[in-house]
Structure 1
């Protein structure tokens, strides 16, 4: 098994962290597009449009072309939404990781390396909406290095850090399309405690749900 090293973030890690985060988030574009297609509202709109064009044009080609264009536009919308989210994160907390996670109380940022190459990252800081908890953030592992236990090791270091700081639990937020992440967190003992729609209007329309998970920690 490869030798996995987990250490605190250094300023020269910035570009690699941003790359891993960007690639990881971009992976969710196809599953988000599929999620939209599965929604009853989407299927109803496409069917109504197809039938209306079929009836009015007496042509089979026109409605097929129209539906294809709508689907292509919808996928581009998903790409745009993820690109905007990624840019926002890179501009905010990932724009100055040291300031956000290393210089603030009870916050930290770690990276995972194998043979000197950065393959994963994770961070935590005091949760804004849940008192007495730290929030796990920016968990990401390169696709080429998944299945080696890296994500589990990163989860454990956050739990240990949280316990050492005297907090009662770790909380985190993930989305309906991040099914692999949900399985990982549940395997690590996290409990899903809340479901709620993402705040953006388009996300509410397409039923893009966010999940809150919590890991209660035993005190020594």
Structure 2
């Protein structure tokens, strides 16, 4: 990993961090669209619409057009969901990273830098529900710099920070469509401990599942 530096966030990194986050989240729109198309209710709606229009109109053109428009609507639904999440994040913790992560107890935000350019991010802060855990958040690496071990290094940075602060575990949340992230976390020793559907209506319609992963640092330490 020659040339890669992982350091704490500074205010000059703000625009780069927001760009990496926005681009990284937007990448999941196509896979999320495919996910919704694979759901039985979606397939049933499309099939029923096609058959009903085919029977009533006795033409291929109308049902094909209707299904195409419905598919476009589904895709816009996915785009809406991700844009809403991105906007909410940019207005909340990413609006003032220093205040949220650097000035709070047992919290931090790091960037990965190559040749003066920020190419990756990760953060952690105390988990609201589990007192002995820190939560890994905002993990993202530019597409152009993946496969270089940056994400693994960022994961280790969070684990080391968590251990140094005296916490027993790291937890994180990722979605059903983030398969590469799931593989990374499992490779780094995280175990999936829970899965649940996001309670928002749009997410329920999509059956958009979140996975909770946990890294037990005590067991990880014994293994070392």
TM over 0.5: yes
Give 1:163 deviation, angstroms: 0.1
Give 1:2 deviation, angstroms: 4.3
In the alignment, structure 2 segments of 5+ residues that lack a partner are none
Match of 1:202 in 2: 202
CA contact (8 A) 1:2 1:114 kept: no
Are 1:189 and 2:189 matched, yes or no? Answer: yes
Match of 1:143 in 2: 143
Deviates further, 126-135 or 154-163: 126-135
Residues in 2 aligned to 1:180 and 1:55: alpha-carbon distance in whole angstroms:
43
CA contact (8 A) 1:106 1:126 kept: yes
Give 1:208 deviation, angstroms: 0.6
SS in 2 for 1:129: coil
RMSD between aligned alpha carbons?
1.0
Give 1:205 deviation, angstroms: 2.1
Match of 2:125 in 1: 125
Residues 149-174 of structure 1 deviation map (CA, whole Å, 9 limit, x = unaligned): 00000000000000000000000000
Residues in 1 aligned to 2:214 and 2:131: alpha-carbon distance in whole angstroms:
12
Match of 1:72 in 2: 72
CA contact (8 A) 2:111 2:122 kept: yes
CA contact (8 A) 1:50 1:64 kept: yes
SS in 1 for 2:196: strand
Give 1:131 deviation, angstroms: 2.0
Match of 1:156 in 2: 156
Residues in 2 aligned to 1:111 and 1:199: alpha-carbon distance in whole angstroms:
31
Residues in 2 aligned to 1:206 and 1:142: alpha-carbon distance in whole angstroms:
27
TM-score between the two structures when normalised by the length of structure 1: 0.98
CA contact (8 A) 1:107 1:125 kept: yes
CA contact (8 A) 1:193 1:212 kept: yes
Residues in 1 aligned to 2:149 and 2:202: alpha-carbon distance in whole angstroms:
36
Residues in 2 aligned to 1:208 and 1:10: alpha-carbon distance in whole angstroms:
34
In the alignment, structure 1 segments of 5+ residues that lack a partner are none
TM-score between the two structures when normalised by the length of structure 2: 0.96
Match of 2:20 in 1: 20
After superposition, where does 1:43-82 map in structure 2 within 5 Å? 43-82=43-82
SS in 1 for 2:147: coil
